[in-house]
Structure 1
Amino acid sequence: MPLRLATIGCGEHATGSHGPALAFYAARHPATELLACCDLDPGKAERYRARFGFARAYTDLRRMLDTERPDAVSLVAPVERTCELACLILEWGFPLLMEKPPGRTIAEVDRMIAAAGGVAHQVAFNRRFAPLLRELKREVDAHVAPAELQHVHYEMTRVGRREPDFSTTAIHGVDAVRYLAGSDYAEIHFRYQALPAAGPGVANVLLDAMMASGASAQLAFCPTAGVVVERAVVHGRDHTFYAYVPMRDAFDAPGRLQHLEKGELKRDAKGSELADSPEPFVHGGFYGEYVAFLDALGAGRPPSPGLREARQSVAVAECIRERKGEYRA
């Protein structure tokens, strides 16, 4: 099915991940037309157009959408603008893939849900589409019954991240645990280790959680550590899984997946064996989220995760931003 695509936001993140993913998708799906890109900075918009093969560049969102009438739109904007822009696009009736986090607060998510009505949309939680994490999810589901999944641990470390609000990055780990556990959070207790030498408000964030399924979870976010890594561990009855998640610039890239049963190593797979391309935007799930979104549109089914599915992840991230001590569903 031919698809005509437009994108909004031509900044650093869009250029590093979304633009390459869209160009790769168009190369693999020749009927796809990259109609137009839009950014308030005309230089950025034109460079993005030329680099990734879009036909036209705009600086006015409404003009682009009125002129081009795309079949789908992607939005890669600062989180402070996401709600405002997403509401406009959805109210105008354009199917939308929006970059995470989908707003800063539950109130913003609810505004977008109301604006969407029945318009197809997907939140770009790219860990859900990273080939290694998707394979981990398949392995867990194949070997561990839901009632026998016991514990999920997720660790995220970064280097030199001194912003006082790390929640817009931590939300990836928060959502990844929900995805791997196949369950929402029932309750969470938060602890904050202040790091005054790193800057005002900088802190390590630790979460102890119980899932609605009865499994437990622990999450650790360390923004000023000595290495960039994301690692997940899943324990079920007789089974343990280790995942070295290959996000961009990660020490572990292209990652590794291990499965042990009753103390015996059953599988040891390199991340390069689980993806059909060595490109970081493939390993990181950016290409996969576009495939999932556009396949869903073509098949006439709702894309996933939508805003309602993403709502709890935003609620937990909001707790982190506000330094709350407890969350209960």
Structure 2
Amino acid sequence: MMSAGGIRIGVIGCGWHSRAAHGPSLKQLKSAYPELGLAACCDINAESAESYRADYGFDRAYTSFEAMLGEEQLDAVWVLVPEHLTASVSMKVMDAGIALLLEKPPGVNTAEVIQLAEYAKEKDIKHRVAFNRRHVPLVRALIAKLQEQEKQGKHIYSMTYDMIRVRRTDPDFSTTAIHAIDAAKWIAGADYESLRFRYDDLSGIAGGLVNIAAEGTFRNGIRVQLNCYPHSGMARELVTVRGEGFTYELYMPLMENAGSFTGLICSEQGRVETIAAEEDWQRAFGFYDENASFLNALLTSADPLDQDLRSSIQSVEIMEAIRGRAEAYYA
């Protein structure tokens, strides 16, 4: 576990996601490790910055992240800004020689992510991209189940990832769909080989709105289907993996579907086991471990910094293909 002696962190961006995902987790970590310094937070809205400081226990609040970087002695910065600002803000953090955690997507297109990855390598900046589903305990449990089946020589046939939302009318849902894209790849343990896309035009509901469906294969031969329905009457993420003598169904613990079943249903040769999600939503949906493991990685060699910008490039490539309404993607 973390021995957070002396590490001082700052947060850039005090909006809804920062409050839902990172602020509470950092406050919990501060309670567990008093040596952790929540030095400063920043938002262009002074009221948001100050309320974030008060709510989560930061020492100071700023409205200029450049001022924060200049005045504070920081060891790491959380970049939690809208995706069109992530690359430019992250470059300035790296210019200051500070480690950083970047929210997804780490750039609006592949070129931005490659530029960031090359710059981080050039300046030897420790960093991580915040794909929280990689840290969901149920995802880890599912991956462990699949690895055990593979050890026994059992073949994995296919994976289906359903991302369903209520009243989402984003003209560009690809920046949310990237979670399904990335999590499916993470669970499969392999990059995509190819995908073919289909879109349902929902512009009668809102301009630019579409359903997104993709079908293809991973490089390890597992077939994959991705179904992203932003305006479909419920909030659910369901991952279904089928193989030789087994089916696993993972119901993600979304905040929006509070009260619905969340857990992992493991069906093996007719026997059924259910693993329930943790009660603490921050832990259940991976946010606590996402933050804790990054701090661990900065402080020890026990948790390698392997979830970096380069690990996110293919997910961003596919996100960009969907934004451009591509018919297919080939690795």
TM-score by length of 1: 0.94
Deviations 1:95-140 (A, max 9, x none): 1111101111000101111221221100000011112212211222
Give the corresponding residue for 2:26: 22
Contact kept, 8 Å, 2:238 with 2:250, in 1: the verdict is: yes
CA distance in 2, matches of 1:90, 1:142: 40
Contact kept, 8 Å, 1:4 with 1:33, in 2: the verdict is: yes
Give the corresponding residue for 2:187: 180
Contact kept, 8 Å, 2:25 with 2:287, in 1: the verdict is: yes
Contact kept, 8 Å, 2:241 with 2:247, in 1: the verdict is: yes
1:263 correspondence with 2:270: yes
1:64 correspondence with 2:65: no
Give the corresponding residue for 2:41: 37
CA distance in 2, matches of 1:206, 1:166: 12
Contact kept, 8 Å, 2:154 with 2:243, in 1: the verdict is: no
Q: How many residues align?
A: 323
Contact kept, 8 Å, 1:144 with 1:237, in 2: the verdict is: no
- The 3-state SS of whatever aligns with 2:256 is coil
Give the corresponding residue for 2:107: 103
- The 3-state SS of whatever aligns with 1:168 is helix
1:66 Cα deviation after fit: 2.5
- The 3-state SS of whatever aligns with 1:316 is helix
CA distance in 1, matches of 2:198, 2:172: 15
> C-alpha root-mean-square deviation of aligned residues, in Å?
1.5
Contact kept, 8 Å, 2:192 with 2:217, in 1: the verdict is: yes
**What are the within-5 Å matches in structure 2 for residues 99-138 of structure 1?**
99-117=103-121, 118-138=124-144
Percent pairwise identity: 37
Moved more, 117-126 or 196-205: 196-205
Contact kept, 8 Å, 2:87 with 2:112, in 1: the verdict is: yes
**What are the within-5 Å matches in structure 2 for residues 149-188 of structure 1?**
149-188=156-195
**What are the within-5 Å matches in structure 2 for residues 111-260 of structure 1?**
111-117=115-121, 118-145=124-151, 148-250=155-257, 253=260, 255-260=262-267
**What are the within-5 Å matches in structure 2 for residues 250-329 of structure 1?**
250=257, 253=260, 255-265=262-272, 267-272=273-278, 278-300=279-301, 302-329=304-331
- Judging changes above 3 Å, is the alpha-carbon distance between structure 1 residues 293 and 254 closer, same or farther for their aligned structure 2 residues? farther
CA distance in 1, matches of 2:163, 2:91: 31
- The runs of at least 4 aligned residues of structure 1 exceeding 4 Å deviation read 251-254
Deviations 1:247-285 (A, max 9, x none): 2112565611111122222x211113xxxxx33222221
- The 3-state SS of whatever aligns with 1:198 is coil
Contact kept, 8 Å, 2:69 with 2:96, in 1: the verdict is: no
1:144 Cα deviation after fit: 2.7
- The 3-state SS of whatever aligns with 2:204 is helix
TM-score by length of 2: 0.94
Structure 1: tracts of 5 or more residues without a match: 273-277
Give the corresponding residue for 1:275: none
